[in-house]
Amino acid sequence: MTTQPERLLPTDPGGVIGRCVREGKLFWTWHVTMRLRERFISRRMIVESVDSYELIESYPDDKYLPSYLILARHEEFVFHALFAVDVKDDNVRIVTAYRPAPDLWSDDLKERGQS
């Protein structure tokens, strides 16, 4: 029987994500790299919007690492970005980013399924 490694959760996920982005301790997954262009979101937008990050959902049991959905604003654009947090190696991975569909999110784009 194999045992899973201990899952380390950040005590302040939003703080860790912001700090890692500011310090350049971030990795871009293949998925986000493939999706950004078609979704008209740039890496620059994700990085430059760091001061607007607002944690809206947590997935502590995500497949590889705990992940967190962030609401971000860059100029007139609002988007969501999913970050996986690697506490052990002190970095974050940007898993995906997208513009939330207004019909699937609340008016403030922070809650699912409520218009």
Mapped to the 3 state alphabet, what secondary structure does the chain carry? CCCCCCCCCCCCHHHHHHHHHHCCCEEECHHHHHHHHHHCCCHHHHHHCHHHCEEEEEECCCCCCCEEEEEEEECCEEEEEEEEEECCCCEEEEEEEECCCHHHECCCCCCECCC
Mean pLDDT of 41-65: 96
Asked whether residue 58 is domain-assigned, the answer is: yes
Asked whether residue 81 is domain-assigned, the answer is: yes
pLDDT at 99: 95
Number of domains in the chain: 1
Range of the domain at 30: 13-104
The pLDDT of residue 37 is above 90: no
Asked whether residue 1 is domain-assigned, the answer is: no
pTM for the whole structure:
0.90
Q: Which two tokens stand for residue 41?
A: 């979101």
The pLDDT of residue 113 is above 90: no
Q: CATH code at 18?
A: 3.30.2310
Asked whether residue 6 is domain-assigned, the answer is: no
Asked whether residue 53 is domain-assigned, the answer is: yes
Output 3 or 79, whichever has higher pLDDT: 79
Mean pLDDT of 51-69: 96
* Single-letter amino acid code for the residue at 61: D
Asked whether residue 43 is domain-assigned, the answer is: yes
Q: Cβ(97)–Cβ(35) under 8 Å?
A: yes
Asked whether residue 113 is domain-assigned, the answer is: no
Asked whether residue 8 is domain-assigned, the answer is: no
